Chains A and B, each alone.
Chain A
């Protein structure tokens, strides 16, 4: 039974981590046109809690993408320097969309495992009937 409990909590941690990732992706997309905005990325880490070899996943610290900011030419912009350019953001929409898709797929996979563990344990409980 504790295996199923483990399985459920690990899957739940996966769901949490993937939705956290999706939060950062949507932040990036929302700020794609914000001057000076740097893309946020997050790497996952495995957490081993206690003596049991239970490996839940947790999002690591948020990091900023260190790629150069895109230069936008717009002499009329209030932030433009003497060459008429200002710093845009370094968000690449295609990368963000691909990342969002990947997060969605992983979320679905975790959800499926959650459902399966639940089914297996309820099947076990059915043995007690009758």
Chain B
């Protein structure tokens, strides 16, 4: 179970994803009244995670490895589709952003809870509970 510590890596990726999305939601909200601004978003964590897992590319696990270093992180922002635009070209809906903000917060809390509980397990296994 603790050979590769995949769960730490996964919760780390989840928290990173939540952080990146939080930055985008904040950006959308700040630009809620900017003419011509399109709402930005990144793919949900589930999709990013699946894409990374199913992509059979070699991963760089040591510094000497040359392959797999420029793998896409899946966190590139893109404009959210299907949003209605205001007459001034702005497509931010504050309600949607609020919803996303709550989602991001819950995802981040969840990732940290997973990390913390795995850490506690590891501590217990080491006899320092």
Chain A residues in the interface with B (C-beta under 8 A) = 1, 3-4, 6-8, 10-11, 13-14, 17-18, 21, 43-46, 53-57, 102, 105-106, 109-110, 112-114, 116-117, 119-120, 123-124, 127
Interface string of B76-118 (1 = CB under 8 A from A): 0100000000000000001001100100110011001001100
The smallest C-beta distance from A71 to any residue of chain B, in angstroms, reads 30
Contact B32 A106 (CB under 8 A): yes
B19 at the interface (CB under 8 A from A): yes
Task: Considering the complex, give the chain B residue whose CB is closest to the CB of A12.
Answer: B30
10 residue pairs from A and B, CB less than 8 Å apart? A3-B22, A17-B33, A18-B33, A46-B31, A54-B23, A54-B27, A106-B94, A109-B29, A109-B98, A119-B105
Contact B33 A120 (CB under 8 A): no
Which 5 A-B pairs give the minimum distances between C-beta atoms? Answer: A14-B30, A3-B19, A7-B26, A44-B34, A7-B23
Contact A53 B115 (CB under 8 A): no
B45 at the interface (CB under 8 A from A): no
Of the candidates A10, A17, A46, A123, which one forms a contact with B23 in the assembled complex, judged by CB atoms under 8 Å apart?
Answer: A10
Chain B residues in the interface with A (C-beta under 8 A) = 15-16, 18-20, 22-23, 25-27, 29-35, 37, 40, 77, 94, 97-98, 101, 104-105, 108-109, 112, 115-116, 119
- Give chain B residues whose Cβ lies under 8 Å from the Cβ of A53: 77
Of the candidates A1, A6, A55, A123, which one forms a contact with B31 in the assembled complex, judged by CB atoms under 8 Å apart?
Answer: A55
- Give chain A residues whose Cβ lies under 8 Å from the Cβ of B31: 14, 44, 46, 55, 57
- Give chain B residues whose Cβ lies under 8 Å from the Cβ of A123: 108-109, 112
Contact B35 A113 (CB under 8 A): no
Contact A113 B33 (CB under 8 A): no
The smallest C-beta distance from B6 to any residue of chain A, in angstroms, reads 18
Task: Considering the complex, give the chain A residue whose CB is closest to the CB of B75.
Answer: A3
16 additional A-B residue pairs with CB within 8 Å, beyond A6-B26, A14-B29: A1-B19, A3-B19, A3-B22, A7-B27, A10-B23, A17-B33, A43-B35, A46-B37, A53-B77, A54-B23, A55-B30, A55-B31, A57-B30, A106-B29, A106-B32, A110-B29
